[in-house]
Amino acid sequence: MGMFYRVSEKQLLADRNSLIKEVGIPSLLKNGFMKSPFLGIWFGEYDSNVKGYSYELCRLNNNNFLEIIDFSVLKGEPWIKIHLNIFELEPVPKQIEDLTGKDGINFHLPPNSITKMRLRNDDYKGPPLFYMLFLPEHKIGSYYSKSGYETEIKKLKKLIKSDMENIDDFVKRWYELHTPNITDWEGNIIKEAAH
């Protein structure tokens, strides 16, 4: 038996998935996001052996800017990975429901995937060593006891909730780093942004 408390991979996966469902998704729903309307997009476990979970939510901003947020957790990792990408749609949809049933896979393939920003990873300024050591991540940190693990879960829950409640700060940062590609409703490029 080891000296330190360890959580099983199964429990680690379940706990991170619970955080997404308890605070991540509800906070985005309050900010005008909804479950992705596209075909073929995961919203829950994506493997029959439960090797991970993936959730995609979208909203239209200023009618023609599609904002896509996706959460993913994988077995064997401590992170909750959250990505943001934004596209300008042509023609302009009247509402996000107009996109229902469209194939959304092209939004996740190059060249569209080039502008995908991982929150609290790709959006920092300065040397990577600084933010890796001192700034919070969407990750379960080190723990040596059951209470330490529970403390790490609470910290991550608070960070996810805060970040999703303040998602517009990350949207603003995305625009500082990228320009949206202009696409049709299925992510086919009409005009690629200069990178």
User: What are the pLDDT digits (tens) for 105-137?
Assistant: 999 999 999 999 999 987 656 555 544 555 789
pLDDT band at 193 (very low <50, low <70, confident <90, very high): confident
Listed in sequence order, the residues at least 6 apart from 167 whose beta carbon sits closer than 8 Å to its beta carbon are: 27, 28, 31, 33, 69, 84
Identify whether the C-beta of residue 193 lies closer than 8 Å to the C-beta of residue 179: yes
Q: What are 53's two structure tokens?
A: 């979970």
Which residues on adjacent β-strands are paired with residue 59?
Answer: 67
Does 54 have pLDDT greater than 70?
A: yes
Alpha helices in the chain (DSSP H): 9-19, 25-30, 128-134, 146-165, 167-177
DSSP state of 23: I
12-31 tens-digit pLDDT: 999 999 999 999 999 999 99
pLDDT > 90: percent of the chain: 74
At residue 194, the pLDDT reads: 76
Q: What are 27's two structure tokens?
A: 């906070």
Does 172 have pLDDT greater than 60?
A: yes
**Average pLDDT along the chain:** 90
Does 8 have pLDDT greater than 80?
A: yes
Distance CA 13, CA 88 (A): 34
Listed in sequence order, the residues at least 6 apart from 49 whose beta carbon sits closer than 8 Å to its beta carbon are: none
Q: What are phi and psi of 30, to 5 degrees?
A: -65, -25
Listed range (37-46, 74-83, 99-108, 148-157) with the worst mean pLDDT:
37-46
Identify whether the C-beta of residue 156 lies closer than 8 Å to the C-beta of residue 56: no
